[in-house]
Structure 1
Amino acid sequence: MQYRPLGRTAWNVSTVSFGAWAIGGTWGPVDDAESMAALHRALDLGVNFFDTADVYGDGHSERLIGRLRRERSEPFYVATKMGRRLSPHAAEGFTRESLTAFAERSLVNLGFEALDLVQLHCPPTQVYYMPEVFGVLDDLVRAGKVRHYGVSVEKVEEGLKAIEYPGVQSVQVIYNMLRQRPAERLLPEAQRRGVGILARLPLSSGLLTGKLTAQSTFAQDDHRHFNREGAGFDRGETFSGIDYAAGLEAVEALKPLVPAGMSLAQMAIAWISMNPAVTCSIPGCKRVAQVDENLAAADLPPLSDAAMKAVAEVYERHAKPLVHPRW
């Protein structure tokens, strides 16, 4: 496993970490015993950073990670997210009272004395223009409820605005072989300012495993079934926002580029690590086999210049017109 600094936190975190959305729900059936086995396996293999949210299974994902900390002695960091519990999910709801309540609820779910890293969970764009919201986060740090804070964004522009606030330590953003726009401005600027980047959806909701087909079906409660058009939340969170059929075409174009000795999923994760501005990717896992395959990517040799160029050409041809202007 390799490690990189996360912003100005003085933490060094595993370049391939653990995304805990899947163990909470909306990715089909989950089994807690299987989820705990996956969490333990990740720690065994050197992961020291776990990303979750208070809405993943209505706190279930947080509670599982809290259990992991009680069952293991190794130190590790936990990032959670808050704000999506607001109904309606509107900028005016991001008040001192609501943010404090969300933080305190996550503390209970996790069983922690302080949240390692809390992130605003893809709030409305207007929130990034409300300095009072970031003032509340500063106060939560001063009160000892939160050690550090960051943001999870939908759009590049939101990330660029967020890092103007000096307390923001990290930006979580969708960045993968089918969503490359963050590399143009956001990633270099975050690196310049000493802000960590957490790359979510590194496998584009499973598209970049190469295992999905036109005949693949998904459970009713799986967002890959109900959110393809953005019915539940931002469309970009499902298959990176690319039309499913177009995504499958892009994957077919990527498959011949996979170097010998690695899978397409491992190449996708290795591709993200090629950008030094990225602190870590957070592939979702809910089974030990997924952990093993994803984490093996951390020890692979760098991709060649020719491979990186070829991936860029696939993006230009198959994905850029569909996703680049939107996020």
Structure 2
Amino acid sequence: MQYRTLGANGPQVSAIGFGAMSIIGFFGPTDDKTTHACLSAARDGGITFIDTAELYGGGRSEELIGQFLKTSPHAFHIASKAGIRVKPQRRFDNSKRYLTEALEGSLRRLGVDHIDLYYIHRRDPDTAIEDMVETLQGFIQQGKIGGYGLSEVSPTTLRRAHAIHPCRAVQNEYSLWTRLPDLGLIRTCSELGVSFVPFSPLGRGMLTDAPAKRAAMVEPDLRISNPRFQEPNLSDNLAVISKFQNWARDNGMNTPTAALAWVLQRGDHVIPIPGTRTAAHLNQWIGASEVHLSDTQIQEIETLLPIGWAYGDRYSPAQNIGPETYS
């Protein structure tokens, strides 16, 4: 496993992190034994950075990580997120009162007194950026978090927040089939010394040797209502991905390793966080940081999967409330 710096003055973490949304059964059924086996495989494979959120299973993801940390207390640098209320109805909240309550809840569930990276899960337009960053800066001064991050934001929001207090990381969706951050966000992160943390770097299970099957998806899997997983888009996407699968095989790699290696080579400040429920799936891509794609291979991938190749929007209109758009 290779290692990278999390933000300008942050800790050294594994070049590949672990996204912990899947461990609560969001993308299919699982159980605590399977989750602990998966987390053990991540630790044993050199992963030292794990990403969770208050939102994931109503805190259940944090609880499972907290249970694991009791047996392996120094396994991971932890990132968590807050900013989305679900009761009495879903809404964004970046107020000091809510974020303070949310952070205390996360610390309790994780069983720690410090979180290395604390993200605003979604920006609340009713809270001034200055007030939001001031709240997060207070958490840093109190020693409760090491640094703050932003999620699904534009380059301009990052610049405004960073000018008040340096941001440690930005987490946005990014992969070979979701390339919006190429329109300035990855470059802005690099310029400011901010880590860029791609979530869903394997295309929500599509950039693999066995792409996700729609028939196996059950609620609350967001892919059910996602345009890219509905026909005729799904079949069209699978046809394109099959060419990439063949390319990976011809180049001595499995598909998720090739897809993740491409993401890793977008910059030394890029730290992807693929997620999975099982150790078996994790072991398929955990070695990607050791793979270096040649300039020729990069160009071949870009020819097979050029920017904008995916059929269908990355979110439905209902799902697309919150992420900032830019062009």
Deviation at 1:38, TM superposition (A): 0.7
Deviation at 1:122, TM superposition (A): 2.3
Contact 1:187 1:277 in 2 (8 A): no
Runs of 4+ in 1 over 6 A off after TM superposition: none
Contact 1:197 1:277 in 2 (8 A): no
Alignment of 1:12-161 (within 5 A): 12-87=12-87, 88-90=89-91, 93-124=93-124, 126=125, 130-153=129-152, 158-159=157-158, 161=160
Q: 1:319 aligns with which of 289, 310, 315?
A: 310
Change (3 A) 1:32 1:9: farther
Task: Structure 1: give runs of 5+ residues left out of the alignment.
Answer: 230-237
Deviation at 1:320, TM superposition (A): 8.7
* One-letter code aligned to 1:107: L
1:244-295: CA deviations, max 9, x gaps?
3443233123223215321111101100111224431111021111121120
Contact 1:138 1:167 in 2 (8 A): no
Change (3 A) 1:144 1:167: same
Deviation at 1:106, TM superposition (A): 0.4
Deviation at 1:102, TM superposition (A): 0.4
Deviation at 1:204, TM superposition (A): 0.9
**1:309 aligned onto 2:299:** yes
Deviation at 1:184, TM superposition (A): 3.8
Which stretch of the first structure deviates more once superposed, 199-208 or 185-194? Answer: 185-194
Change (3 A) 1:326 1:191: closer
**1:263 aligned onto 2:254:** yes
1:45-92: CA deviations, max 9, x gaps?
11110000111111111111112221015452000011122555545x
State the alpha-carbon separation in 2 of the partners of residues 183 and 316 from structure 1: 9
**1:189 aligned onto 2:188:** yes
Change (3 A) 1:157 1:217: farther
Deviation at 1:10, TM superposition (A): 3.2
1:178-201: CA deviations, max 9, x gaps?
112313421122112111111110
Which stretch of the first structure deviates more once superposed, 59-68 or 305-314? Answer: 305-314
Deviation at 1:160, TM superposition (A): 5.2
Contact 2:41 2:279 in 1 (8 A): yes
Alignment of 1:228-267 (within 5 A): 228=226, 243-258=233-248, 259-267=250-258
CA RMSD of aligned residues (A): 2.7
Secondary structure of 2:252's match?
coil
Contact 2:94 2:127 in 1 (8 A): no
Contact 1:246 1:318 in 2 (8 A): no
Change (3 A) 1:320 1:283: same
Contact 1:52 1:80 in 2 (8 A): yes
State the alpha-carbon separation in 1 of the partners of residues 17 and 269 from structure 2: 12
Deviation at 1:23, TM superposition (A): 0.4
Change (3 A) 1:196 1:27: same
Contact 2:130 2:161 in 1 (8 A): no
Change (3 A) 1:167 1:122: same
State the alpha-carbon separation in 1 of the partners of residues 97 and 110 from structure 2: 20
State the alpha-carbon separation in 2 of the partners of residues 175 and 202 from structure 1: 6
Q: 2:285 aligns with which of 287, 294, 297?
A: 294
State the alpha-carbon separation in 2 of the partners of residues 81 and 316 from structure 1: 29
Q: Which residue of 2 aligns with 1:178?
A: 177
State the alpha-carbon separation in 2 of the partners of residues 250 and 271 from structure 1: 17
Q: How many residues align?
A: 313
Change (3 A) 1:246 1:120: farther
Identity over aligned pairs, percent: 28
Contact 2:52 2:81 in 1 (8 A): yes
Secondary structure of 1:316's match?
coil
1:105-150: CA deviations, max 9, x gaps?
10111011122211011234x2685311111111121222222111
Secondary structure of 1:220's match?
coil
Q: Which residue of 2 aligns with 1:234?
A: none
Normalised by the length of structure 1, the TM-score is 0.86
Secondary structure of 2:25's match?
coil
Change (3 A) 1:317 1:90: closer
Change (3 A) 1:316 1:298: closer
Q: Which residue of 2 aligns with 1:235?
A: none
